[in-house]
Amino acid sequence: MSHNFINFHVLISHSPSCLNRDDMNMQKNAVFGGKRRVRVSSQSLKRAMRKSDYYQANVGQSSIRTKHIADLSKQAIEYLNGRYDAALVTQTIGLISGKDLNAGDEKGDAVAPWALEEIAWFCEQVKQAQDKGEDEKAIKKKLKDSTEAMRQALASCVDIALSGRMATSGLMSEFGKVDGALAVAHAITTHEVSDSDIDWFTAVDDLQELGSGHLDTQEFSSGVFYRYASLNIGQLQENMGGASREQALEVAAHLLHMLATVVPSAKQQTFAAHNLADLALVSFADLPVSLANAFESPVKLGKGGGFLKPSLEYLNNYWSKTHKGYSLNEQCAEFTLADDLDIPAGITKQDSLEALKNWVRQNGA
C-alpha cells in the first residue's frame, strides 16, 4: 500500500544573516519552549522556492500573484500574442475575475495566484463557445462543467497545485478554488537566540571630507534552523488534473531539493548566508508528522562548541522515539553531511541529496 503523505525534515545552519524581517525591520522570531527563537516565515520560504532558478529550470513557470487585474491582463495579452487576440483575453479575464476591465474595474478583491496557461485554457473555451453562438450564461455553465480539464491546465503551474488558491470574486470564486497539497511550517532555530547582534553601519560619501553620508543599524544573528513540510500526494494529483503518482513524486523530489538548498534573498548582498542543508530526512507516511518538538527544549552547545551536531542528534533521537512510540508505518531515508552521526534503525542512509531525491522518485524503495 502506498503512503499518501511525504514528510520533509531539514536542518540547515545559517551563518550571520537577517533572512526575514518584520514591519519594524527586525528579525522575525517566535517563542517556543518558553525561549526566543529566530524565525523564517513559511511565506518567505515558499516564495523563495517558487522564484528560484531551480524552480524555473526543473518545475516550470510559476504563478503570477496579484490583485492588479489590469496589469495581469496586459501580461496575458503579451504572453498569448499570436494565439488569442487582445479583446478575447481581456473578456476572458473579466469573466473569470468578475471585474469589468473596460469600465475601469482594475483591481481584484485580494491577491490571488494566476497561471498564464490556465488563462489560455479559459480563452479557448470562451472562443469555442462564441464560435457556436453561445451567450455568456452558456459559457459560464460550460466552464463550471469542465473543472477537471481546468485542473489539467494547472499542471503547468505547480505552485498553485502545491499551495492552493483562494478566490473571492467572479467564476474563480465558484470553481477556481484549490485546496493546497503542501503544508510548510515556519522555520525556527533549534536553540535559543536570546540576544541578536546589531550591525551599526555607515555609508561613506566619497565626496564628503568628514563624517558619513548615512548611518543606520540592522539586527542579525546566526543559528541552526529546522524546516518542516508535509505533502499530500493524493491532493497534489487531484490539483494537477489527475496526474499519476509518478508525476507527483517527481514534483516531491524537486521540492526536497529546494527545501535543502533555497534560501530567502533578504539582506543576502550584505550577509551572503548561502548555506546548504546539513541534514534532510524524508518519510513516506500515512499522516503528517512534524518533529519540531525535538527542539521544544532548546538545544545546548555541544562539548566542542556549536549547535549543529547536537541538533542533528536531537532530531534523529526524537524521530526514533516517535516512530517506535506510535508504531508509525513509514518508510524513511536520510542524507547528512555529518560523518559521525548515528542513523537510527528504520532510516535508510543516502550518500547524497541526489540519491535521496531518486529514493523519493522511486516511492521510497
**How many beta carbons lie within 10 A of that of residue 123, not counting itself?**
22
pLDDT at 104: 63
Is residue 92 predicted with pLDDT exceeding 80? yes
11-67 pLDDT, tens digit per residue, is 999 998 888 888 888 889 999 999 999 999 999 999 999 999 999 999 988 999 998
Report the pLDDT value the prediction gives residue 160, as an integer from 0 to 100: 93
Q: Is the pLDDT of residue 327 over 90?
A: yes
Quote the pLDDT of residue 171.
66
Question: Are 238 and 151 a contacting pair, CB within 8 Å?
Answer: yes
What one-character DSSP code corresponds to residue 21?
B
Are 139 and 125 in contact by the 8 Å Cβ rule? The answer is yes
- Per-residue DSSP letters for 123-165? HHHHHHHHHTT--HHHHHHHHHTTHHHHHHHHTT-HHHHHH-B
Q: Residue 198: what pLDDT?
A: 87
Instruction: State pLDDT tens for residues 220-246.
Output: 888 999 999 999 999 999 999 899 999
Rounded Cα gap, residues 178 and 164, in angstroms: 5
CA distance 8 to 188: 15
Backbone phi, then psi, for 81, in 5-degree steps?
A: -55, 125
- Report pLDDT for 108: 65
* Partners of 131 in beta bridges: none
pLDDT in tens, 194-218: 888 888 888 888 888 877 888 888 8
Task: State the cell numbers at 295.
Answer: 527542539
At 105 the pLDDT is: 60
Residue 71 binned pLDDT confidence (cut-offs 50, 70, 90):
very high
User: Which one-letter DSSP state was computed for residue 300?
Assistant: P
Between 126 and 5, name the one with better pLDDT: 5
How far is residue 53's CA from residue 274's CA, in Å, rounded to a whole number? 14
The residue that leads in pLDDT, 125 or 228, is: 228
Per-residue pLDDT of 239-294, as tens digits, reads 998 999 999 999 999 999 999 999 998 888 888 889 999 999 999 999 999 999 99
pLDDT confidence tier of residue 140, bands split at 50, 70 and 90:
confident
**Span of 14-28, 96-110, 319-333 with lowest mean pLDDT:** 96-110
pTM score: 0.91
